[in-house]
Structure 1
């Protein structure tokens, strides 16, 4: 089936979903979760084919980690779907409303976007997260994953569609777009009028390709070149805990720290300990000359290093002379995702949060917290680094638009 035919079927399904009650959608989500657990062995078996092919093709360990599904990971995905059922339904929520002096009632309501296209790389958990969030928010979804996850995604979508049909909802609300050709991505990007919005999730090249070539409106998710800035007033012990968590707790995700900035006044007390701890954790540090004088194992940092999202046990590092220099460095190299300051100074924290332009700014906390689940939103569709409509972790409300409903009693305008 062509992407256009799939999109046409999705529009029909979306019109049905727009009438579905919360109870009907939640029942379908629970059915999906149950089916995922029941059919976990075949899902994992399909995934193992993808992982084996990926390893043979030379995919990095970071990519293989994102690709892999285990029985425990499938169970966690299913639990996330159940959690979605417990979240408030955004559809129909009144954003604002009033009765005008002439008696006309005006209400602004949340409504589904309609048909959402998701273009993503080797993360089969996104297949379920995206489908569940779109279902809960009343949207149909076209899922275009990567060819490296084709067996995993095929198995997952079969489970999703079967559960929808069993609960009396249209199976075409969830469809998998053929990943074997780049042409299907182009067709999806050109399906204006059939697809209401595209959301790309993946590396910088994928995101930029969709943003620059699509005629369908795009919600831009971004790469995560996230910084940890250790201020002059930072507690070294606190800063070390935050740095190690942000860099090493899970390296293959977009909210992992990729850059370390240390105020010159804190460098002597902090950097020797930090560099030793990073080295012990297996992290390769790429630093400027001021960092390298503390540890001969630090590699010289290049401009490319400071702009890189490593998604691996690597980090760039620099010593800065002021908070202003730190924010300037972030403005130059950051990706607008998540930036953190470690400080005991309220004034420094306020200046940092005011000046740093990012979807999330953290004070004395790891960047790993920037996540829809950690924020209490349930699963997320992605982390938006744009400034229109949605920014930061995108949960259910971000998958809706609004509609004005105006109710009168024979009102006419003079």
Structure 2
């Protein structure tokens, strides 16, 4: 994988920040976009802009072909059985909320259980809190091991015959933990529960095969995988999606509308009310083409090397705490002793290094870690070992600066 050539396809990375070359280490928040994706968006708006599924004129046909062509690309990318299982949403959050509201509130009753983990993003906690409150179900948490992983023994001990839904992130956006989704899904199914996967941090970095994982739902966002913001996907097993009611009503998702009743279109369109996210889908399709050209296996191997290199370098530093397991996805979350993560990020930014600081939309996990916030450096296909060297130099500079202050 020629990382230098790949990086040249991301124009935003070719700039100076505070007089220093930009080192972008915040791809877990959002990835940067390659020229091919930017060009696809520009071409759509310049040449094909029209609504879809409605007009028979040429622009409408072109727009529809590109929109549905993107759905076909997603189907192949995740190895879904059919495009009817691929629903376009605004992102992972909307996808999870759709399942929690439509499936959850229709299938949960008092005394039923929803099982999640302490490491979940707020988007995979709050919808289930609300579903539990609305139905009388109980929210249960699989405990974490000391290194921020889960054990299958704990999974088996937590999931019971009362469990109806298990929801778990594929990859932790804080710890870098890669969860054993296939094994957890099998345990859930043994008890008659369905399995939803928050794939926001999984699908940009790992080869995802929803049939092999045997998950019932898989949710992800385009903007973390080189695509535009505002577009995401909900994959679901067909028989479950067919039983679910839409959560948004209006144009596009209807079959027939009468004065006092209406019927819905077939899958996937019954979940896509209103004018859909056409340009976003086109951009997501271009992002999938780009990732396929680079190769997910190459990206995964590259990130494994970067994560190992970063851990090796950071372990040589004094006065730093690293959170999460040794073997991890391509991110490292840490704190410098006696330095607030926001101060760390501010000093790094002065050197042109972009990292995330805060609770990372994971406040329950922060409490489990016994911290209020952390700093996080996350890597992607355009990062290099030199970027990590810059990070380590910046952290040493931060320590020196605050050592002098205090």
Shorter-chain TM-score tier: under 0.3
TM-score between both structures, scaled by the size of structure 1: 0.24
